Amino acid sequence: MKGRALVAWNLRRVRVAQGLSQERLAADAGVDRAYLGGLERQAENPTVDLLDKVAEALAVPLGELFVAPEAGAQAPEPLRGGRRKL
């Protein structure tokens, strides 16, 4: 798996596991939501500094964004759309 795909896979995996929307994670990391979505779609090529911000917002080590998935693993599903009720 190429680096950009690996980051996209793990970014979504960790974000969804934590129940965070792209919008919330983008706000916590101080990046644009559309840019974060582009990272998950492999449309953007992030800098190390940006990955540091995202990893910090997710409270995971930077290396967590580079963990290779097991062979045959299914891609992480996106969160269900819509607003949550408080």
Q: What is the CATH number of the domain that holds 11?
A: 1.10.260.40
Determine, yes or no, domain membership for 36: yes
Determine, yes or no, domain membership for 59: yes
Q: Give per-residue pLDDT as tens, 21-77.
A: 999 999 999 999 999 999 999 999 999 999 999 999 999 999 999 999 888 777 777
Q: How far apart are CA 76 and CA 43, in angstroms?
A: 17
In this prediction the pTM is: 0.83
Domain span at 10: 3-64
Determine, yes or no, domain membership for 72: no
Determine, yes or no, domain membership for 81: no
Task: Give the list of residues 6+ apart from residue 27 with CB closer than 8 angstroms, or none.
Answer: 33
Cα 41-47-73 angle, rounded to 5 deg: 40
What is the domain count for the chain? 1
Residue 11 has what pLDDT?
95
